[in-house]
Amino acid sequence: DAGVIQSPRHEVTEMGQEVTLRCKPISGHNSLFWYRQTMMRGLELLIYFNNNVPIDDSGMPEDRFSAKMPNASFSTLKIQPSEPRDSAVYFCASKPGLAADTQYFGPGTRLTVL
Amino acid sequence: DAKTTQPTSMDCAEGRAANLPCNHSTISGNEYVYWYRQIHSQGPQYIIHGLKNNETNEMASLIITEDRKSSTLILPHATLRDTAVYYCIVRAANFGNEKLTFGTGTRLTIIP
């Protein structure tokens, strides 16, 4: 099993630029989650999808953040425009379905906004 | 979901059992106790979960008190690779309640 794949692993950008983070869930998993981890706030759920449909985006910090899941094997988290306070590690996780117990996390993308 | 309280940090000698406590005194009847861990620079990893009975798998054992107000995660023979932050999470098993609320966790250091 390849596990959850995230790209890029590291991203450094300048304030105001658009940033796109990518996630490929485990094959056959129907639920996908985006988290953000910072020292100040810990690990926070931003949004999750089931069968490619966004179910709960109440954790998305503001309109600069958007997430899509065009098909079962790909999701993006976009920040436009980026700000220094968006610097964090962004994790994607997937699980077989909403009834499943275990979320499988990817290795994360470390984002630095200068 | 109920709040959990964990010690900030713990040390354990390599080869010994590591016992990580968690307090969840406001837990409701339909809420499960989950444990995840996060090794440095990696994503969180599921360990085990339970409702009221003790559970054991290849990674760990979970002991839940009879009143369910606290639990203990046991790593029976800790190795250096078990050094990580361990999160105790309480979550209701309702459809649509997918939020895992990660607190600050316990930073476990295994000492050679």
Nearest-CA distance B101 → chain A (Å)? 7
pLDDT tens profile B10-52: 999 999 999 999 999 999 888 999 999 999 989 999 999 999 9
Ordered alpha helix ranges (H), chain B: none
**B1 pLDDT exceeds 70?**
no
Q: Which pLDDT band, with edges at 50, 70 and 90, does A111 fall under?
A: very high
Residue B50: what pLDDT? 93
**A99 pLDDT exceeds 80?**
no
Choosing among A10, A43, A90, which should be mutated to test the B contact, i.e. which has the most B CBs within 10 A?
A43
> What percentage of chain A has pLDDT greater than the value 70?
99
Nearest-CA distance A17 → chain B (Å)? 25
Residue A101: what pLDDT? 79
- Once rounded to an integer, what is the mean pLDDT over residues A1-14? 94
Q: Which residues of B touch A43 (CB under 8 A)?
A: 44, 102
Residue B92: what pLDDT? 81
Closest partner CB to A48 (pick from B43, B98, B103): B98
The residue of chain A nearest to residue B44, with distances taken between CA atoms, is: A105
C-beta separation of A75 from A49 below 8 A: yes
**B91 pLDDT exceeds 90?**
no
Q: Check CB contact under 8 Å for A103 and B46.
A: yes
The residue of chain A nearest to residue B101, with distances taken between CA atoms, is: A44
C-beta separation of B28 from B92 below 8 A: yes
pLDDT tens profile B44-77: 999 999 999 899 999 999 999 999 999 999 999 9
- Once rounded to an integer, what is the mean pLDDT over residues A95-102? 81
| CA-closest candidate to residue B29, choices B2, B62, B56, B63 | B2
**B101 pLDDT exceeds 90?**
no
Long-range contacts of A46-54 (CB under 8 A, 24+ apart): A46/A77, A47/A77, A48/B98, A49/A75, A50/A97, A50/A98
- Once rounded to an integer, what is the mean pLDDT over residues A74-82? 97
